[in-house]
Structure 1
Amino acid sequence: MKKRYPGIVMLFCHLSFTLSVHSQSSPDASAMQALRANLGNPINLEWSDPDPCNLNLVHCLNNHRVDKININSKNLTGSLHPELKNLSELTILEVSTNQLIGPIPSLAGLSLLQQLDFSHNNFSCIPPDFFTGLMSLQSIRLDYNQFSSWEIPESLKDASNLENFLATGANISGTILDFFRADKFPGLIHLHFGYE
């Protein structure tokens, strides 16, 4: 007659389930690996784990989706990868005070984005469709970048919840005051321009 060990079987099933939950990979792994590669996989970020939810300065939701990236002041070089637009749960992206170059990639369609900080870098341009679908955007900082002369795109009107638009030393041209009317941006608090 065979002996049965129900307790051991239950324990094995529990361990098996626990391991599968913890090893679940994030749908954002590909985009984050592309970002890391474009930044040159810098040692000071300590981004060696393939799971973005285990990365320093990155926050994930319970569903293993990246919602916050804060890599300010890390002496980063390289550029931002276009795959950032695939981080569909992203709410905060802060990359200020580095030495990042190239265009800021389009983040069109990231409807949960609330805060963006690209200030104090060496970005060259911002795409016309950048703000398309950014309905939750409250704050964007573009100060002190090496942008080619550009006009504020019509797509910014999608960001009707905008409170802060900071673009000192960002080489903006064209008509500005008519664009930021109270009926288009009723919650606007800070609007900064200049060429310091």
Structure 2
Amino acid sequence: MQVLEPLFRPFERYADAVSVRTHGSAAAVSFCVFVGVIAFGFVPVTRRIEASGYSTSDLQEATTRAEVDTILRAFEPVLDAVMLLSVLDYVFIVAGFFLFFSLHSIALRTLASHERLALIPKVGMGLTMVSRLLDSLENFWVILIYTNPEDYPTVLITLMNGSESLKWLVVNVEYPTLGIAVVVALLVRFTSVFDGRADSSP
């Protein structure tokens, strides 16, 4: 695990940069933004877009230029809503980043004396960085496509599909890792289940 230490060190510095209370406040604010964007942003805007007969998910899953062009033509009357959804997606990405990093930071601080257990939130923070990067890239390729519907490079479809597939692959590991980190941190904080198991190596 010593080989991974340089990779994890920025995560440790992030966790130690502020108090647990500050991380908790950041998590609370991020959670409110996270849920608010879904409830008051994604839901109504997506409904408006779906009135065209397609959703942005259909666009992200389209694999041929003919499919993409058909969806783009259907989006023309609701293009402002599609653009707004892209902006909301970036707000969602940033809120999710701070929510997950704050929760992992609290877990990491709690597990500081358990070297091996502390790997769980460290790995989780790495997964969060990768998933948010892939989500940002996926959104970026979509923007490049719908802002240039007549002349976008076909390679953007491949990049969009690839980013989406990789994103969900990472997300399917990222969310359970967060859940495990939180549960383990709570067990360490409120029980003695891991007492005497802290790694005593320097």
TM range (shorter): under 0.3
Larger relative contact order, structure 1 or 2 (CA cutoff 8 Å, min sep 6): 2
Select the structure that is richer in strand: 1
Structure number, greater radius of gyration: 1
TM-score (norm 2): 0.25
TM-score (norm 1): 0.26
